[in-house]
Amino acid sequence: MIQKLFFLFLLFVANLSALEYDETILELEAKLFPKMILLSDGIKKESDTLSIYIIAQEVDNKSAEYFKTLILSNYPKKISGKKIEVSIKEFVAFKTKPDAIIVLDYDGEKLTEIANWANTHKVISLAYDPYYMSYGLLASLYIGKATKPYLNSAVIKKYDFSFNPYLLKLSKFY
C-alpha cells in the first residue's frame, strides 16, 4: 500500500518536470541546422551575421546551453560570409526577428503558438523533434536508414518559404 501511494505521489510530482534530450541528436542538429538555415532563400544576403534563437523552457536551460555550445563549436568562424550568433530565449512574440529559431520541448498548444508566430513573420523554425512539425514548425531532421533534412511541405506552400534546390534535393518532405 505504501509503495502504491509513494508511486502515485511520484506521478503527481512528475507533472512539474521536463524532458531529457538525446545528446547525439543535439550534436547532429547542431551541425546540420545552421547549413539548412543558410540554404533558405529568406536569409538576408547583405547581413554578416546569422541570428538564431534557441527557444526553450527555463527547466531546459542546461540542454539549451549545451546545444548552443555545440553550434558555436561547429561554426567558430564565418560560414557563407556570416558569423553565427546564438541566443537562448523563452518564447514571447519577439519584437526583433531572428533569422531562425530552433525549438526545444513545449506542449502542443505552445508549439502551435510558436509555429504561427514564426510562419507569419517568415522566420525559419526548426524543431528538435520532427514530431513538432505536426504543430506547424517548418523543418527538422529525419533519422531513418539515412539522415536527411525534413521539410514541412504544407507550411512551405502555405507561407511561401523557398529553399535552395540543393537542399530540396537532399530533403525528405513531411
Partner 1 sequence: MKYTFRLLLLTPILLFGEAQQEFNLLEDLDNASQISTRTKLNMNQTPSVVSVLHASELQKLGITDVYGALETVPGVEVSMGIGGGKQISMRGNKSIVTDKLKFMVDGVSINAELSGANHFYLNMPIEQIERIEIIRGPASALYGSFANIGVINIITKAATHKKSIYYGRFSSEGSSNLGFTQNVNSKDMKIALSAFGQKNDYSQEYDNYSKLPTQGPFTSYEDFTDSSLALNLELYKNIHFLSRYLQHDTQNYFGYGAAPIIQDPKNIAHTSWINELEYTPYITKDLSADLKAGYKTYSMIGEARLYPTTLLGTPSDFIGSGNYKEQKYYTDLSLKYKLSSNDIIMGAYFAQTRADNTTYYVNDYHTPPTPVSDKTIYALPNGGLAEHIKRTQYALYLSDIINFNEKWSANIGLRYDNYSDAQNSFSPKLALLYNLNEKQSYKLLYQRSFRAPSLVEMYGSYTPFIGDPELHSETIDTVEFAYRYQRNFQSWMGMNLFYSQTQNFIYRDPTFHLKNGADTNSYGLELEFKQALLSVASLQGNYSYIDNRYKDNSSVPLSAKHLANLMLSYKLMHNFHSGTHLRYVGKREREESDTREALDAYTTLDQTFTYMYKDISLQASVKNIFDADVSFVAPIGSNGTYLDDLAQTGRTFWLSAQWEFE
Give me the residues that bind partner 1 (CB under 8 A), please: 2-3, 6-7, 10-11, 13-20, 22-25, 27-28, 31-32, 35-36, 38-39, 58-62, 69, 80, 105-108, 128-132, 141-149, 164-167, 169-170
Task: Provide, rounded to whole angstroms, the least separation between the CB of residue 118 and partner 1.
Answer: 19
The label of the residue with cell 542538429 reads 29
Least spacing, CB of residue 102 vs partner 1, in Å: 15
Q: Sheet of 172-173: strands edge to edge?
A: 83-89, 49-55, 100-103, 124-127, 139-143, 147-151, 172-173
- Residue nearer to partner 1 on the CB measure, 49 or 80: 80
Quick one: 25 or 154, whose CB is closer to partner 1?
25
Residue 8 or 160: which CB sits closer to partner 1?
8
Percent helix, strand, coil in the chain, to 5, is 45, 20, 35
Q: How do beta strands 100-103 and 124-127 pair? A: parallel
Q: Cα–chain-centroid distance for residue 160?
A: 19
Q: Whole-number minimum distance, CB 110 to partner 1, in Å?
A: 9
CA distance 174 to 153: 6
CA–CA dist 140, 149 (Å, integer): 6
The answer to whether residues 54 and 128 touch, using CB atoms and an 8 Å cutoff, is no
- Least distance CB 22 / partner 1 (angstroms): 6
> Are the C-beta atoms of 154 and 137 separated by less than 8 Å?
no
Q: CB nearer to partner 1: give 76 or 165.
A: 165
Q: Specify the residue, 95 or 169, whose C-beta has the smaller distance to partner 1.
A: 169
**Least distance to partner 1, CB of residue 95, Å:** 26
